[in-house]
Chains A and B, each alone.
Chain A
Amino acid sequence: GEDVEQSLFLSVREGDSSVINCTYTDSSSTYLYWYKQEPGAGLQLLTYIFSNMDMKQDQRLTVLLNKKDKHLSLRIADTQTGDSAIYFCAESIGSSYKLIFGSGTRLLVRP
């Protein structure tokens, strides 16, 4: 079955790196996504990775994909207080319209 799991909470100091982890079960995932939700707002796409890639870097964001272990991570370098939000991992499967979302990881950045 389809399932995406994330830890619920992460707390880091400002300036440190944050690593948010996600595991998924469906090996036929085509794209994997990271969405960010700030308080009182909808979700915004942060970055994505195609399933045949291992890594993608986009400024302070690094996405790592381990297909063997079905593990996805998002690293935020030099974490800022503005990065405090809920981060959702999601996968799309084949040509389906549907995205499967994890439960979200709440990132708290302490000054």
Chain B
Amino acid sequence: DVKVTQSSRYLVKRTGEKVFLECVQDMDHENMFWYRQDPGLGLRLIYFSYDVKMKEKGDIPEGYSVSREKKERFSLILESASTNQTSMYLCASSSPKQGLGEKLFFGSGTQLSVL
């Protein structure tokens, strides 16, 4: 069964802390994405990566950075966490070879609370 695994289901951090959210996929997918989900706003794209060491900004990259050193792993970094970054973070992956536009496979999400 295909899997996108996010390392933590719940995280509580303090303002100003550096936060790492990890995501691993086992499908050999080229593309990986980080979204945040907020009530009434749906999913908003933070960053995506279409290859190892490649990254592109999404719609709301401010306050975030990413790292993709290996194909299967995509990390989201909050350099200095702030309360407005309290949210559900969803990682997803896809492959252009599957020929279905962007059929995304999602992890179960990390609920981050910044106090």
Contact A43 to B102, CB < 8 A, known contacts A88-B43, A102-B42: no
Check if B74 is an interface residue, CB within 8 A of chain A: no
Interface size counted on chain A using CB atoms at 8 A: 22
How many A-B pairs fall under 8 Å by CB?
A: 60
List the A residue with the shortest CB-CB distance to B38.
A103
Residue of A4, A8, A45 near B104 (CB, 8 A) is A45
Q: Is the CB of B42 within 8 A of A48?
A: no
Q: Smallest Cβ distance from A14 to chain B, in angstroms?
A: 26
Q: Is the CB of A40 within 8 A of B108?
A: yes
Q: Is the CB of B108 within 8 A of A97?
A: no
Bound CA span A104–B88, Å:
14
Q: Smallest Cβ distance from B92 to chain A, in angstroms?
A: 8
Check if A60 is an interface residue, CB within 8 A of chain B: no
Q: Smallest Cβ distance from B50 to chain A, in angstroms?
A: 6
Q: Which residues of B contact A (CB under 8 A)?
A: 4, 31, 33, 35, 40-45, 48, 50, 56, 58, 90, 92, 94, 100-109
Q: Which residues of A contact B (CB under 8 A)?
A: 4, 8, 30-31, 33, 35, 40-45, 48, 88, 92, 97-99, 101-104
